[in-house]
């Protein structure tokens, strides 16, 4: 995505965005969503449409890995984003392209049927992918896909098909990172910051550490300068910002998208509505 990120502002001119991403569609998502709703944050839930209702016991887990029921999907996730995690959770980097396409497109279609909403996001099962996998995602109409690679920073990804999160919720750096995210940026031109936390909700039962999420949400929620958004809301907003058109001398900016985009250019705030052209002031 070609975008000069330092001039980007999030909706309403905010400088920070916070998002969460949870995988596999397990029954502990219910408790997690209740927490998200209590604190007014938004999450993305990556679901496997071929394994709803399945119950597994893995040797590395103390608790059962129990999936939610298909009939629960629409109601449970209604305030959050539903995204793909493939039909059967395979290692996509080991599969031929047509099978990758089947796993993603079939999952997408089923999740759209169940939710009645468009599904364009994804998280890679096991975090594995390669160039062939990414090509299949493009063919399936997927806008972004999350990896399991922590950045420990607040950067906006260059390639949304390799969207590296800030950290997992069990990362010892979680609360120090939350502190750094909320720190006031006193510089003349503050850079936009994106804080992205991921995990699996069964891990809170398995490790008996629900307080990790509660402490994080207590710290990060309720700040005026932070946009609390799902993954797709962020990816689609940045897609719109990257679609702005500039005149040869940079003095005019046109917004051809259906979204309002906020920018900070030469220390001035601009709010560029859909279909609008604005002139950049140069003192």
Applying CB under 5 A, the residues found at the interface with Zn ion are 23-24, 125
**Rounded least distance, CB 203 to Zn ion, Å:** 11
List Cα–Cα distances, 191 to 63, 89, 198, 227, in angstroms: 42, 36, 23, 14
Instruction: Report the relative pairing of strands 121-123 and 144-146 from DSSP bridges.
Output: parallel
**Rounded least distance, CB 126 to Zn ion, Å:** 7
Is the Cβ of residue 145 or residue 264 nearer to Zn ion in the bound state? 145
Q: Give the CB-nearest residue to Zn ion.
A: 23
262 Cβ partners below 8 Å, 6+ apart?
Answer: 8, 9, 10, 11, 12, 13, 14, 269, 270, 271, 272
**Rounded least distance, CB 46 to Zn ion, Å:** 7
**Rounded least distance, CB 158 to Zn ion, Å:** 24
Q: Among positive and negative, which fits the CA dihedral 226, 198, 43, 219?
A: negative
Determine the Cα–Cα distance for residues 267 and 270; give it in Å rounded to an integer. 10
**Rounded least distance, CB 67 to Zn ion, Å:** 11
29 backbone dihedrals φ, ψ, rounded to 5°: -60, -30
**Rounded least distance, CB 164 to Zn ion, Å:** 16
Is the Cβ of residue 124 or residue 160 nearer to Zn ion in the bound state? 124
Determine the Cα–Cα distance for residues 101 and 134; give it in Å rounded to an integer. 10
Determine the Cα–Cα distance for residues 191 and 184; give it in Å rounded to an integer. 11
Is the Cβ of residue 23 or residue 205 nearer to Zn ion in the bound state? 23
Is the Cβ of residue 17 or residue 119 nearer to Zn ion in the bound state? 119
Is the Cβ of residue 56 or residue 159 nearer to Zn ion in the bound state? 56
Is the Cβ of residue 196 or residue 270 nearer to Zn ion in the bound state? 196
Question: What does DSSP assign to residue 267?
Answer: T
**Rounded least distance, CB 70 to Zn ion, Å:** 17
Q: What angle do CA 104, 22, 18 make, to 5 degrees?
A: 115
Is the Cβ of residue 192 or residue 199 nearer to Zn ion in the bound state? 199
Tell me, rounded to whole angstroms, the distance of Cα 237 from its chain centroid.
Answer: 12
83 backbone dihedrals φ, ψ, rounded to 5°: -135, 165
Is the Cβ of residue 84 or residue 156 nearer to Zn ion in the bound state? 84
**Rounded least distance, CB 54 to Zn ion, Å:** 13
Q: Any bridge partners for residue 197, and if so which?
A: 20, 167
275 Cβ partners below 8 Å, 6+ apart?
Answer: 255, 256
């Amino acid at each position: 995505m070609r975008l000069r990120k330092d001039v980007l502002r999030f909706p309403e001119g905010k400088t920070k965005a916070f998002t969460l991403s949870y995988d596999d569609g397990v029954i502990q998502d219910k408790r997690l969503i209740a927490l998200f709703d209590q604190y007014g944050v938004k999450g993305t839930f990556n679901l496997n449409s071929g394994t709803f209702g399945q119950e597994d016991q893995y040797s590395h887990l103390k608790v059962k890995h129990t999936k939610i029921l298909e009939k629960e999907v629409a109601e449970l996730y209604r305030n959050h984003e539903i995204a793909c995690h493939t039909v059967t959770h395979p290692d996509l980097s080991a599969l031929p392209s047509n099978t990758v396409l089947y796993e993603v497109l079939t999952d997408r279609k089923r999740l759209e049927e169940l939710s009645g909403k468009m599904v364009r996001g994804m998280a890679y099962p096991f975090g594995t992918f390669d160039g062939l996998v990414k090509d299949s995602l493009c063919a399936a109409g997927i806008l972004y896909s999350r990896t399991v690679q922590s950045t420990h920073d607040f950067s906006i990804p260059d390639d949304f098909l390799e969207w590296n999160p800030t950290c997992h919720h069990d990362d010892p750096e979680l609360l120090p990172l939350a502190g750094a995210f909320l720190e006031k940026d006193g510089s003349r031109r503050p850079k936009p910051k994106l804080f992205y936390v991921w995990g699996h909700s069964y891990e809170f039962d398995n490790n008996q550490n629900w307080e990790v999420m509660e402490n994080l949400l207590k710290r990060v929620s309720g700040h005026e300068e932070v946009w609390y958004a799902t993954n797709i809301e962020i990816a689609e907003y940045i897609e719109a910002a990257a679609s702005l058109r500039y005149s040869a001398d940079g003095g005019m900016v046109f917004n051809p998208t259906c979204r309002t985009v906020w920018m900070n250019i030469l220390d001035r705030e601009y709010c560029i509505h859909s279909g609008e052209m604005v002139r950049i002031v140069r003192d």
